Amino acid sequence: MIMREKIILSAGRSWINMVKMAGRRGMTIIFALVVIIGLGIVLGALSFFSTNERLVLEKMINNKKLVYLVRAGLNLAEAKLIEGRWYFPKSEGKLVIDLPTGGRVRVFTDDYVRVKPVDYNGHTVTLLDHIKVCIEASYNKEFLYGYGKFVISPEPNNDLADTTGLNPVHSKSTENGPKPVYTMRKMANLHTLTPDQLDGVPGFSSIEDTLSRKALATYLIVDQMTYAMNYSEMMPLAKGIKLSYVPPATSTFSYNVLRAKLKALDPTSKTPYDLKDPAVQQKLKSQFMLETFKRYFMASDWDIDEAEKNKQLNSLNIIRGEVATKTTDPTIAPAITVAFGAPPESVDDVKSSFSYGNKQTAAESFLQYRGYLSGPKPGESPVFIAKNLSQIHTSNAYGFAWSAELEYENAAGVKWPGDGGTSAVNYVKYDNAFKNTLSWTDPNDASTTVSVKSCPQPPAKKKTEGYSGYYLLNPITNSKMAVFIYLNFFLKFVDENTPNDPIELNSWGNAFSSSFWFVDPTKIKEMTGGQVTGTY
């Protein structure tokens, strides 16, 4: 009996142990399943995250490639346009570049022509004002667009493929047609635009459509005004900060004190500009042009060290070009007074050169002399300012043709016409005799009397203002460039109206020679007469 109970108890313990062992194995399986499921979730999440990160990375790489493709397209267009218009004689061009990597760049160009032709000594020439460039870059079914304005100064002949500008400052004295001259050419107003941004441009439908590209150019005018505003206002502020800078070793400022000092240096109005107001646009364009002129040192490498930039700025000179020779013959002025009814107006001599001195660069001294150092004058357009700074009134040239009819009479009462000379002195004498009915004895025959039968007002007379231009001169390289070329170039950075309202210069220098006043001899029918010219 006792033995049987022991056997039963032993069997019960074994069964209990087996149940315990089975429970432990079940828990282990459950735990393993939980771990496996957890690892699956973690690995799945990591896989999803890495896939998403890979897609984001691919997107970033594609975008960066598109940006590079747009820039490459603009650079390529600039390089090719400097060589010439590959699409000439058409007024718009297209260029497609397929890359081995699968990318594509499409370049679109549109010519903007001057409305008013220019006369070069009888040669009528239509000028190309500038060229707009649009870029479409595609890569892996993604698109990005670019925009630029190819600025040219002076303007080239629109009837030629060449983009080298024509000499604009001696147009009336140029023989055998216009001559090419040093030309500033550069892509400006660069923009990168996404497809969504293009969709927001009024009037834009397709990059291939000419009117759409023109609508884009119009839309970006506000951006140009913003650029002009930021540059023209921040440059004086930056200069003020430099001039008033105190080394930290001598003074320290709290945040609020520093803000107050910077605010005191800011010369600009705190009232926001209305960039669509024509008067505001005019002011900003002029400010931009004047501020850039102060910092230009006749080099294409603009992003150089500040010390080197200042060195080149300080070495730059501005010089005046040649001027017409003033008349010294005392007999000319009385004749001009009789013909024009007033004495000739004389122009005072003007300053001929500007250089660094008194902590002012040549450009700053020049602007101070011309009255523009502190900014544009109220009411003056940027075109007027650019023209006014490019040249200066140096002389007044007068010229006229005259004639008189002399009558000789001897003691017997016989009359006949005679020759009385062609000089300015003769004209004054004959005009006075005719008006006052005077006569005199012929110096070669005491018995002959001379009188003036007629001495009309000069049938051909003209007064013209003489001008001379100013030039930037780099004595290090001995290179010279007309101030006009620079001002015209940077005006186009911010002005879209130059095709309709360009800077029109007067003829300079040697255009005022005696032959300039040539009068057809057939118009002088009387035996006595001539031409009188004088420059004052």
pLDDT in tens, 278-314: 888 888 889 889 988 988 877 666 667 777 777 878 8
- Beta bridge partner(s), residue 403: 529
What are 110-118's contacts with CB under 8 Å, separation 24+?
Answer: 110/134, 110/210, 110/213, 110/214, 111/85, 111/158, 112/499, 113/158, 113/499, 114/155, 114/158, 114/499, 114/502, 115/499, 115/500, 116/502, 118/168, 118/171
d(CA 292, CA 287): 9
Q: Is 169 exposed, middle or buried (0-12, 13-18, 19+ CB in 10 A)?
A: buried
pLDDT at 115 over 80: yes
Which three-class secondary structure state does DSSP give residue 499? coil
d(CA 523, CA 520): 6
Given this model, what pLDDT does residue 432 score? 92
Given this model, what pLDDT does residue 528 score? 76
| Residue 440 CA to its chain's centroid (Å) | 65
For residue 145, the tally of other CB atoms under 10 A from its CB is: 22
Split at pLDDT 50, 70, 90, the class of 516 is: very low
pLDDT in tens, 160-207: 999 999 887 755 545 566 778 889 999 988 999 999 999 989 999 999
Question: Mean pLDDT across the chain, nearest whole number?
Answer: 81
Q: Are 192 and 136 a contacting pair, CB within 8 Å?
A: no
Omega into 154 within 30° of 0, i.e. cis? yes
Q: What is the mean pLDDT of residues 53-82?
A: 85
Q: Are 185 and 82 a contacting pair, CB within 8 Å?
A: yes
| Residue 524 CA to its chain's centroid (Å) | 48
Which three-class secondary structure state does DSSP give residue 72? helix
d(CA 292, CA 295): 5
d(CA 195, CA 200): 9
Enumerate residues 6+ apart whose C-beta is below 8 A from 221.
Answer: 496
Tokens of 458: 């000069």
Q: What is the mean pLDDT of residues 96-115?
A: 91
d(CA 525, CA 334): 24
Given this model, what pLDDT does residue 514 score? 44
pLDDT in tens, 439-461: 888 888 888 898 888 888 887 78
Tokens of 86: 């590959």
- Three-class HEC string of 350-394: CCCEECCECCECHHHHHHHHHCCCCCCCCCCCHHHHHHHHHEEEE
Report which of residues 303 and 105 the model is more confident about. Answer: 105
- Amino acid identity of 239? K
pLDDT at 8 over 60: no
Split at pLDDT 50, 70, 90, the class of 489 is: very high
- Amino acid identity of 276? K
Split at pLDDT 50, 70, 90, the class of 228 is: confident
Given this model, what pLDDT does residue 80 score? 95
pLDDT in tens, 24-51: 556 666 666 666 776 666 666 666 656 6
